[in-house]
Chains A and B, each alone.
Chain A
Amino acid sequence: AQSVTQPDIHITVSEGASLELRCNYSYGATPYLFWYVQSPGQGLQLLLKYFSGDTLVQGIKGFEAEFKRSQSSFNLRKPSVHWSDAAEYFCAVGAPREYGNKLVFGAGTILRVKS
């Protein structure tokens, strides 16, 4: 079965600083990997996704993530954080064929941005 670990519950960064949110997954084959963002009182919005090919994927709002099979990781990065990036970020793993297009989510990382 798939599982996702997000080791950091909270992260605080200064506005303009770089950001990296960690995600480790467990799955036997090549997974489909996603990062979603959730602002307070809102639903989940897709930032980016990885299926195959180039292991560095670009998403919306200036985010990118890199898939590293050897480390079972899919870390999210942003070179310069804006105050509006403060939100909760969820990493998710899916395997559409094997698991009927379901996603398994990590526990989330809350990002705080200080000015």
Chain B
Amino acid sequence: EAGVAQSPRYKIIEKRQSVAFWCNPISGHATLYWYQQILGQGPKLLIQFQNNGVVDDSQLPKDRFSAERLKGVDSTLKIQPAKLEDSAVYLCASSLGLADLTGELFFGEGSRLTVL
């Protein structure tokens, strides 16, 4: 079974530039998450989708971050304009769905962003 796919693995940009990250979840997984992991910290949830609808985006800085999952499968996370403090690893995860009682999330390898 293929895991969660993310790209690009690494990205270096100047501040005020824009960047986009892509995620393809495990086939059949209805719920998709984007987490931000700043160096030295645990992952923090940015946004959660159930199919193509947003379940929780309360921690997403909406003035600069946006995310979509138009067809309920893959997802894109965009940052525009980027700030120095956005340097982090962006982890995508998926799970079977809100009714899944195991609660287990499956993670991709992450996209590491460096903002100069």
Interface of A with B (CB < 8 Å)? Answer: 4, 6, 32, 34, 36, 41-46, 49, 51, 90, 92, 94-96, 100-108
A103 contact from B50, B98, B105, Cβ within 8 A: B105
The distance in angstroms between the C-alpha atoms of A103 and B101, with both chains bound, is: 13
What is the chain B residue whose CB lies nearest that of A42? B109
Q: Is the CB of B43 within 8 A of A94?
A: no
Q: Is B98 in contact with A108, judged by CB distance below 8 angstroms?
A: no
B33 touches A (CB below 8 Å):
yes
Q: Contacts of A100 on B, CB cut-off 8 Å?
A: 48, 50, 55-56, 98
Question: With A and B bound together, what is the CA distance between A92 and B42 in angstroms?
Answer: 9
44-88 of chain B: CB within 8 A of chain A:
44-45, 48, 50, 55-56
Q: Given the interface contacts A100-B56, A108-B42, does A51 sit within 8 Å of B101 by beta carbon?
A: yes
Contact of B91 with A101 in the complex, beta carbons under 8 Å = no
A103 proximity list for chain B (CB < 8 A): 45, 103, 105
B91 interface neighbour in A34, A44, A49, A92, Cβ under 8 Å: A44
Classify chain B's interface size: 20 to 34
CB neighbours (8 Å) of A49 from chain B are: 102-104
B102 touches A102 (CB 8 A): no
**Assuming the A-B contacts A43-B4, A96-B101, are A101 and B107 also in contact, with contact meaning beta carbons closer than 8 angstroms in the complex?**
no
B53 to chain A, nearest CB (A): 12
Contact of B24 with A by CB under 8 A:
no
Name the residue among B42, B56, B109 with the largest chain A CB count within 10 angstroms.
B42
Q: Is residue B110 contacting chain A, with contact meaning CB distance below 8 A?
A: yes
Q: B56–A102 contact, CB under 8 A?
A: yes
Q: How far is the CA of A4 from the CA of B93 in the complex (A)?
A: 19
Query: Which residues of B from 95 to 115 have beta carbons under 8 Å from A?
Result: 95, 97-98, 100-110, 112
Report the nearest B residue to A108, measured CB to CB.
Answer: B42
Q: Using Cβ atoms and an 8 Å threshold, which residues of chain A touch B108?
A: 43
Q: Which residues of A contact B50 (CB under 8 A)?
A: 100
In the complex, which residues of chain A have a beta carbon less than 8 angstroms from the beta carbon of B91?
A: 43-44
